[in-house]
Chains A and B, each alone.
Chain A
Amino acid sequence: MFRKRNPLTEHITELWSATPLFRDIPKREILQLVQDMPPRHFKAGEFIFHSGDQGAGAAVILHGKVEIQSAGVKLAELGDGDFFGEIALVLDVPRTADAIAVTETELMFFLRPELDEWLTRSPYFAGKLGANLAYVLAQRLLQANKALVNSGQESQL
């Protein structure tokens, strides 16, 4: 009840809270989710996951840089506060790309078992995360569609 708050936990709460996944979800709820979850440390050049690995959840970058690659092609470079791997929160499918730590990186995972438990504990807010997740994935789909249309137009020219 009167437990002293850990500054790292507060920092992680702030980072997750700033992502679109946790939009409109109170910080006390996020704090409960992250307070007992130790962060993961990755060395520069270490694979966070490989394409084809089974994914268990999404991760937010506490500090460091992460590169997302597919078949050796760089798709994105992510930094502090960015998140990735959110498809694994919804689908039990293998990872579709590689994620590599470019520099010394610290991550915090939000995993499907945690989401599942949160759903029974706090269905309203966990449901909100579900809606936010749908929004994020729909936006990604729109972007992918636009890129596909643009590449089609370029090839016609």
Chain B
Amino acid sequence: MIMSLFRHPIGRAFAIYFTFVFGLALMITLLTPVLFPLILAFILFSILEPIKNRLIRGGLSQLTAIILVLMAVMASGIICLVIGIPMLLDQWEWLQTRLPIIATKIAQLLDTFGSSIANSVGMQVDTRLGERWLADLKDQGTSVVVSSAGIMVQSAFSLVFIPIVTFFLMRDYRKMRNTLMSWLPNKAYELGWLIYFRVTKRLQRYVHSVFIQSAIVAFVTTIGFYIIGLDTAVLFGVLAGLLNLIPYIGPLLSLLPPMLSTLGSGAIDIWMLVSIAMVILAAQIFDNVVVIPNLIAQTVDLHPMMVLFGVVVFGYLFGFLGMIIAIPVLTASKFLLMGLIHGLNKKLTEDTLHLLPAKLKS
């Protein structure tokens, strides 16, 4: 019964797909300690590869082009670290000192909210859940200080690890990939290459587009926060840009830090809270009307339910990084499965012959 299922092309496609996904999951689990710098190195490689090619076209050797590109990136990185990190750390420390005040303020708000509900409706609202969360928030304020030493060590490791991995990717990626592909059996060789081609094309376009999108949202939000007079406009703007990498949930999350900060900065400023919401809304409208149709459209073709499900599951499994990689992983996964089904099912392949003009147009 099971064997006859595998003899069917679609059954075989699913079997190969699940084997691949299982292998990938195993690899991700094994690589968890270096997953974040590894993904960053791959993203850097994807961004820097066209620049390297441009230099090679200009007459430089591959090695010289790689060294030049990496040196430029490292120099920019060091400048950003020297100028940007102290500023962001200052803003973060400022925010950290506010955390207990913010927590107390919100506790007061919850109490006021609870008693006004009790007075008007006569119903008792249990605010203990909110209190517990606020206690956690206070604790986190302290734990951040303790964990910051660990973060520094990890950052130092990443600073060395990422350029080294990026260098070897830029130098040897083609060789490593071709060797891996040569392990495919003869009858799956061309299909394997085709699926690789389609998946990497999509992913490359997605990574490039989404980073431009993130930078635009960060810029628009920072300007907006600056105009409404919010302290730490740069920190919250950059955060909004980063959180925008998480579909649907990200924009909502980006509302929280500036709003909490405003709540903890003295008297409740309703005008400022509304302004923050308006800035995030305006950035989202700009993103959805201008950026997404021109940049992101057609790079990802996933159902919204699938996107939400993926973001929640990957977020649960791998935290913030998981939420960011959910969409590219799901896109790659979809193209792998579709490629296998179409490639292994001859009838489907032959049926696509009449679609030739449409394919040529795309």
Contact = CB atoms under 8 A, between A and B. Distances in A.
A45 interface: no
Interface in A22-51: 36-38, 40, 42, 46-50
A113 B350 contact: no
A94 interface: yes
Interface residues of B, number: 32
Contacts of B343: 53-54
A74 B190 CA distance: 23
B178 A38 contact: yes
Interface stretch (B19-27, B56-64, B218-226, B302-310): B56-64
A122 to B, nearest CB: 7
B190 A57 contact: yes
B190 A53 contact: yes
Interface string A47-86: 1111011111100000000000000000000000000000
A56 B353 contact: no
Given A113-B196, A120-B50, A121-B57, A40 B349 contact: no
Among the interface residues A38, A54, A117, which one has the most CB atoms of the partner chain B within 10 A? A54
A1 B66 CA distance: 14
B359 A92 contact: yes
B194 interface: yes
Contacts of A37: 178
A1 B350 contact: no
B7 interface: no
A116 interface: yes
B146 interface: no
B350 to A, nearest CB: 5
A20 interface: no
Nearest to B343: A54
Interface stretch (B108-116, B179-187, B269-277, B283-291): B179-187
B186 A38 contact: no
A53 B197 contact: no
Contacts of A50: 346
A91 B361 CA distance: 12
Given A42-B186, A120-B53, A57 B353 contact: no
B53 A121 contact: yes
Given A38-B182, A46-B186, A94-B349, A56 B356 contact: no
A52 B191 CA distance: 12
A56 B190 CA distance: 5
Contact of B350 (A48, A94, A117): A94
Given A36-B178, A121-B53, A56 B193 contact: yes
Contact of A111 (B193, B342, B350): B193
Interface string A103-127: 0000001011100110011110000
Contact of B346 (A47, A52, A111, A117): A52
A93 interface: yes
A93 B342 CA distance: 12
A47 B187 contact: yes
B162 to A, nearest CB: 23
Contacts of A94: 349-350, 352-353
15 contacts: A36-B174, A36-B175, A36-B178, A38-B178, A40-B189, A42-B186, A54-B342, A57-B190, A57-B193, A91-B360, A94-B352, A116-B201, A121-B56, A121-B57, A123-B57
Interface of B: 50, 53, 56-57, 61, 63, 174-175, 178-179, 182, 186-187, 189-191, 193-194, 196-197, 200-201, 342-343, 346, 349-350, 352-353, 356, 359-360
Given A54-B191, A57-B193, A113-B193, 9 more contacts: A1-B61, A36-B175, A46-B186, A54-B190, A91-B356, A94-B353, A109-B189, A111-B190, A112-B193
